[in-house]
Chains A and B, each alone.
Chain A
Amino acid sequence: MDPTTAVETLQQKFPEQVISAHEHAGQPFVHVKRDRIVDLLKWLRNDGGFDMLADLCGVDYLNQGMPERFCVVYNLTSTASNARFRVKAFVPEADPVIDSVSKLWKSAPWAEREAFDMFGLQFRGHPDLKRILLPESYGGRPLRKDYPLIGEGERQNFPRYTKEAHGKAH
C-alpha cells in the first residue's frame, strides 16, 4: 500500500486515533494518539503490507507546540512494494507510558529499551524493560532537552590509580 492511501485509510478506520496527517519532502506521515497504537500498527503490518519496522525512536518536543511532550516514532517499510510510512504516537509527560509492539515485530524490543533509556518512556508489556546503552546505575535521561550535555557528574566517579601507589586505587 502506498503511503498516501495508508494515510486516508487510517483516517477512515481509526478516526479518533489520528490527530493529523502531514507531509514533508514527499514523505507522508501521521500524528496519532497512543491509545490503540498496537491495533493501528497491526493493521498496517497485516493489511497495509508494511512488514518491516525499520526504526523505532523517541523524540522530546519540549515547548514546540506539539500535542504532547514525548513522541514515539515508528518508521515502517514494505519490502514487497518498497513503500515507506511513518507513524508518530504522542505520549504525555505526566504519564509516559505506551503499549509495546514487541509482539508485532522482533526488532522492537531493543529499540524500545533505548527509548526507555534515553527518554524515560515506559513500554507496557515489554518482555525486559531495562537500560541498554548506559549503566544500570545511571540517574538521568540524557536525550531529554532539559538534560545538560556534559551530564551531571557521572563521568568523574571512578577510583584513581597512580604509579606511586603501585597499582592500588585510592
Chain B
Amino acid sequence: MERPTRTPLEVEEESEGDLGARRMIVNFGPQHPATHGTLRNIIEMDGERILRLEAEIGFLHSGFEKISEYRSYNQTVTVSDRMNYMSPLCNNIALAVAVEEMMGIQVTPRCATIRIILAELSRIADHILCVGLQAMDLGAFSLMLWAFTEREKLYDIFENVTGARLTTSYTRIGGLFRDVPHDFDEQVRRFMESGKKTISEMEGMLDENPIFVNRTKGVGAVSGEESISFGLTGPLLRAAGVQYDVRRARPYLGYDQYEFEIPTEKEGDVYARYRVRVREMYESMKIVDQALKKLPKGPINVSDPRIVLPTKDERNLPEGGMEGLIYHFKNYMHGHGVRPPKGEVYVPTEAPNGELGYYLISDGTERPYRWRVRPPSFYNYQAFARMSEGGLLSDSVAVLSSLNIIAGELDR
C-alpha cells in the first residue's frame, strides 16, 4: 500500500524577528455565543487584526413576504410580529399605519395615543436589552440580568394589554384588538419609576468605566455621509451626527404634538451609539408621560363596519342584529374585508433599530400583491464589514453588539 505523501506546509515569513504573522481564515458563527442570532462571518485575519470580513446571512429566512401574499391584511399582523421579536409592537403599529395610509383612514385619537405609548415602551424594551447585551459581550454579565428584569415588568404590561408577552399581534387595520385595562396608567407609571432607576444604574456602571470606554471609544466609527450612503438609520445614524428621525421628519400617529429631543452624538463609534440609546430611553419616557396625561376617552376603532368588526352586542342583539351579522360575515369571507384600492405606498416609521418601512402594493383584493418590509437590520449589517476591517477580532464583537442585529428582521 502506498504511503500517503505530505505536502510541505508553506509559511510566509512576513517579518524578521517575529513569529511570522500568518493569514488565517476564521469562521465566526452561525452558532456562537457572541453572534446575536444566526449570523455567519468569514474573517481573514493577520494575527489578531481583521484584514477582510465577509458576512453571510439567510440562516433564518422564513419566507415572510411570500406567505403574506396568501393572507389578508389583518392576518399579516400576526406574521409581522415574528420579525423584530425584541419590540414586536413596533412592527404591528408600522403595518397598521402603512395600510391605513394606503386606504386614507384616520384612526381615532385614543387609538393613536395608545399606539404611541406602546411603541415607546417597546422602544425602551429593545434599547435596554441592547445595552444589556452590549455590556454582557464585553464582560459585564449582570447588566443583562438587570435588563431582563425590566423587560419582565414590561412583559407584564404587554400581557395585560394585548394578551401575550412577546408575539402581541395587537393592532388591527382601523384600530386595535381591544382597549387597555383600567389600571393601565398606574402600571405604566410604576414601571417608569423602576425603569428610570435601573437605566441610571446601568449608566453609572458603564459611562465612565475604563474597561467599557477603552473597548468602545473609537471602535467601529463611520462618518455621517458614509452612514447615509450605507442606508444606516436609527441610533447608528444619529450617533454619526445626522439628526434624522422619522418621527420628526414625517410624523405619523400625531408624533408632532409631543415634545421630545432627538439625541445625537458626533463620533459614530460604539460608545456614541450606546449613549444615543440611553438618551433615547429617557426621551421615550418623556413621550409616554405626555401621552398618559392626555390619553383621550372615546372609541378605539374607526366606525367603519366594512373594515372594523362589529362588536358582539351589535351582532347578537335583535336591534343590532342582522346588519351586524352581515358585516361580520362579509369581513371574514374571501374576497371581502379590508380591501385597499389599487395602488402602492411606502410608509416609513421609526422602529428602535432604525427606519422600518412597509412597501405595500394592492391589487384591489383583500390580499396584498406585494408585501415588502424595509428591514433596518439588513442595511445596518451591511456596514459591519466596513466597520470591523482593520480592527481587532474582539473589537468586531463590540461593534456587532452595538448594531443590534435581529436575525428575524434581517432574513425575514
Q: Which of A12-20, A35-43, A53-61, A156-164 contacts B (4 or more CB under 8 A)?
A: A53-61
Q: Which of B107-115, B211-219, B344-352 contacts A (4 or more CB under 8 A)?
A: B344-352
What 1/0 flags go to A47-72 for Cβ under 8 Å of B? Answer: 00001111101010000100000000
Q: How far is the CA of A133 from the CA of B57 in the complex (A)?
A: 6
Report yes or no: B58 in contact with A109, Cβ–Cβ below 8 A: no
Report yes or no: A86 in contact with B346, Cβ–Cβ below 8 A: yes
Report yes or no: A142 in contact with B359, Cβ–Cβ below 8 A: no
Q: How far is the CA of A105 from the CA of B227 in the complex (A)?
A: 10
Report yes or no: A84 in contact with B346, Cβ–Cβ below 8 A: yes
Known: A79-B249, A149-B66. 11 other contacts (CB 8 A): A24-B344, A55-B357, A55-B374, A73-B359, A107-B382, A109-B382, A110-B378, A111-B378, A132-B58, A133-B412, A149-B70
Report yes or no: A55 in contact with B57, Cβ–Cβ below 8 A: no
Cβ of B104: which chain A residues have Cβ within 8 Å of it? 25
Report yes or no: B359 in contact with A25, Cβ–Cβ below 8 A: no
Q: A107-B229, A133-B61, A134-B58 are in contact. Are A142 and B66 (CB under 8 A)?
A: yes
Cβ of B348: which chain A residues have Cβ within 8 Å of it? 54, 77, 84
Secondary structure class of chain B's binding surface, majority of residues = mixed
In the complex, B343 has a CB within 8 A of chain A = yes
CB distance from B269 to the nearest CB of A (A): 18
A-B contact pairs, 7 of them (CB 8 A): A54-B348, A54-B355, A57-B372, A107-B230, A107-B379, A134-B58, A149-B67
CB distance from B311 to the nearest CB of A (A): 29
What number of A residues sit within 8 Å (CB to CB) of B?
A: 34
Cβ of B61: which chain A residues have Cβ within 8 Å of it? 133-134
CB distance from A55 to the nearest CB of B (A): 4
Q: How far is the CA of A149 from the CA of B374 in the complex (A)?
A: 22
Report yes or no: A84 in contact with B102, Cβ–Cβ below 8 A: no
CB distance from A107 to the nearest CB of B (A): 3
In the complex, A4 has a CB within 8 A of chain B = no
Q: How far is the CA of A132 from the CA of B359 in the complex (A)?
A: 21
- 3-34 of chain A: CB within 8 A of chain B: 24-25, 27, 29
Residue of B101, B346, B372 contacting most chain A CB atoms (<10 Å): B346
Cβ of A51: which chain B residues have Cβ within 8 Å of it? 228-229
Cβ of A53: which chain B residues have Cβ within 8 Å of it? 231
Report yes or no: A25 in contact with B363, Cβ–Cβ below 8 A: no
What 1/0 flags go to B27-64 for Cβ under 8 Å of A? Answer: 00000000000000000000000000000011001010
Q: A55-B374, A84-B250, A133-B411 are in contact. Are A142 and B102 (CB under 8 A)?
A: no
In the complex, B314 has a CB within 8 A of chain A = no
CB distance from B34 to the nearest CB of A (A): 22
Q: A75-B346, A107-B382 are in contact. Are A54 and B57 (CB under 8 A)?
A: no
In the complex, A82 has a CB within 8 A of chain B = yes
Query: Residue of B at shortest CB range from A148?
Result: B66
Report yes or no: A55 in contact with B345, Cβ–Cβ below 8 A: no
- 90-116 of chain A: CB within 8 A of chain B: 105-107, 109-111
Q: A27-B345, A75-B359 are in contact. Are A142 and B229 (CB under 8 A)?
A: no
What 1/0 flags go to B68-104 for Cβ under 8 Å of A? Answer: 0010000000000000000000000000000001101
Report yes or no: B244 in contact with A79, Cβ–Cβ below 8 A: yes
Q: How far is the CA of A24 from the CA of B102 in the complex (A)?
A: 8
CB distance from B326 to the nearest CB of A (A): 29
Query: Residue of A at shortest CB range from B232?
Result: A107
Query: Residue of B at shortest CB range from A110?
Result: B382
Q: How far is the CA of A111 from the CA of B229 in the complex (A)?
A: 13
Q: How far is the CA of A124 from the CA of B63 in the complex (A)?
A: 26
Q: How far is the CA of A93 from the CA of B301 in the complex (A)?
A: 44
Cβ of A110: which chain B residues have Cβ within 8 Å of it? 378-379, 382
Q: A109-B382, A133-B57, A134-B58 are in contact. Are A57 and B359 (CB under 8 A)?
A: yes
Report yes or no: B57 in contact with A143, Cβ–Cβ below 8 A: no
Report yes or no: B101 in contact with A142, Cβ–Cβ below 8 A: no
Cβ of B343: which chain A residues have Cβ within 8 Å of it? 24-25
Report yes or no: B67 in contact with A82, Cβ–Cβ below 8 A: no
Cβ of A143: which chain B residues have Cβ within 8 Å of it? 65-66
Q: How far is the CA of A109 from the CA of B361 in the complex (A)?
A: 24
Query: Residue of B at shortest CB range from A26?
Result: B101
Cβ of A105: which chain B residues have Cβ within 8 Å of it? 229-231
Report yes or no: B374 in contact with A54, Cβ–Cβ below 8 A: yes
Cβ of B229: which chain A residues have Cβ within 8 Å of it? 51-52, 105-107
Q: How far is the CA of A106 from the CA of B229 in the complex (A)?
A: 5
CB distance from A33 to the nearest CB of B (A): 19
